[in-house]
Amino acid sequence: MTEVLPDSPQNVLAARARLGEGPIWDSTQNLLYWVDIYNHRVHQFHPATGKDEFFDVGDVVGAIAKAGDNRFIMALRHQLVFLNTQTGEVTPIVEIEADLADNRFNDGKCDSQGRFWFGSMSSEKAQASLYRYDPDGSLHTMETGLTISNGLGWSPDQKTFYLTDSPQQTIYAYDFDLETGNIANRRAVVNLTHESFYPDGLTIDSEGYIWSAMWDGGCVIRFSPTGEEIWRLKMPVPLVTSCNFGGEDLRTLYITTASVGLQQEEIDKIYYSGDLFAFRAEVAGLPTYDFLG
């Protein structure tokens, strides 16, 4: 039987984002960074004060990762770039999938070796891919045949890599080689084809359990490493996009949401769509890693 958490998520920022996504925790400054994809914004949220600031990066921004002091690596529509957080300057790195007009880059994050993983999404089935950009400047295609490359993460022992394909309603697991960065032996670990909603961004906790945000599902679900649903964290909005652990003890789960595609009547009824939420968990998360290039 599915257990329901006794406490509710707290609304910590009335962001009203169109498509909030990709929260990452900066443990050196105790800040949360997140993106509003369609508003082209990289946000910096200060939990201690509730203050939120943002950079307009001039294009859809699907994923970010810290890349040293005052610098981020970002996956924009069809390219990787660096963002200087002191000047706001955006510096191109490499263009990818520019010939696929209907594609854009989506979710991404760094592994513990400082390699940046990011995927694309397509309006056409099986036209998206997953990439890995290494600190030495090399680009590697890690998976093809995806439709919306989404929520990814690694197990605490660094032996398993997780990848979500949202329209397939599936979270896949792969064997992961930490030294080489290679993945192999893909298998479906979470199958949600019996549900009416879609797995979006995810994070992994220190016990190796998967926390997956459910688009059009109004919840975050915690799964065991073998794919068993443990319980659901109910959200006050339907479009739940991603989550990540933060706070000094990594026990605060930050959750991004969206309002894109909702009719005004729905937005009026579900007033908090697009806001940022936080939930105090009984288990800690894993650290957020930087790009080391």
* Residues with active-site annotation: 200
Distance CA 220, CA 47 (A): 21
- The alpha carbon torsion through 161, 166, 167, 170 (nearest 10 deg) reads 50
Strand arrangement, sheet containing 51-56: 20-26, 31-36, 41-46, 51-56
Q: How many CB atoms lie within 10 A of CB 125?
A: 11
Give 59's strand partners: none
Is residue 150 within 8 Å of residue 169, measured between CB atoms?
no
Structure tokens given for 242: 């991603």
CA 25 – CA 252 distance, rounded (Å)? 10
